[in-house]
Amino acid sequence: LRRSSYEQRTVPKACKGAHGVSVQKIVVDTDIILEHLIHGDGASILRVTMNTYFCYTTVFNAIEAFSMARSKKEIQAVDDAMSAMKVIGLNAKSAKSIGKIYSNDISVGKKVLPALIAGVCVESRLPIVTMNPKRFSRIKRLRVIPAQKIISHSAATEMPSH
């Protein structure tokens, strides 16, 4: 068991999904959350991801999403999306990871939020799913999963066998 930096409660290292099956954990980037909020018919990338993974997001993704919400309805939609995931935040260890990211690549300093998000992910040992892998391309220790890979995997597992 380890401590969550956001809610300061004990979280099991391996999450158990339905029927006691182990579920992989992943951090959801802001673009996936926003795509979910504007998604029309069918399953959003967030819903597809939640069907396969135990989803987290970072407090920095939450800040980014809330900063884009303009109306009370949009703010409520972001709040509802955040409620569906565990939000992880900054602590002394993730601050150390973020510092290493900054020191290894000065150009990251121009893009503060991706560095903050990556530091939390690296320290939490969690990969991130995003529609824009280039956003994190300079951060070597971060495992980035393109959203298209999750969509493709989901479509392949849902196809009927002949």
Residues 6+ apart with CB under 8 A from 23: 15, 16, 17, 52, 53, 54
Confidence at residue 143, expressed as pLDDT on a 0 to 100 scale: 96
| 91, 107, 134 from 129: Cα distances, Å | 22, 22, 12
pLDDT tens series, the chain, 162 aa: 333 333 333 333 445 544 455 679 999 999 999 999 988 677 899 999 999 999 999 999 999 999 999 899 999 999 999 999 999 998 787 788 777 776 766 555 457 888 889 989 998 999 999 999 999 988 888 999 999 999 887 777 665 554
Residue type for position 126: L
Taking the C-alpha atoms of residue 86 and residue 144, their distance in angstroms, rounded to an integer, is 19
Q: Where are the alpha helices (DSSP H) in 28-69?
A: 30-38, 45-52, 59-68
Cβ burial of 138 (10 Å; 0-12, 13-18, 19+) is middle
- Taking the model in full, what pTM does it have? 0.77
| 17, 19, 49 from 120: Cα distances, Å | 24, 30, 20
DSSP type of residue 109 = G
Give me 113's structure tokens.
Answer: 């939020």
Taking the C-alpha atoms of residue 162 and residue 159, their distance in angstroms, rounded to an integer, is 9
Candidates 162, 158, 147; CA nearest to 36 is: 147
Taking the C-alpha atoms of residue 160 and residue 133, their distance in angstroms, rounded to an integer, is 30
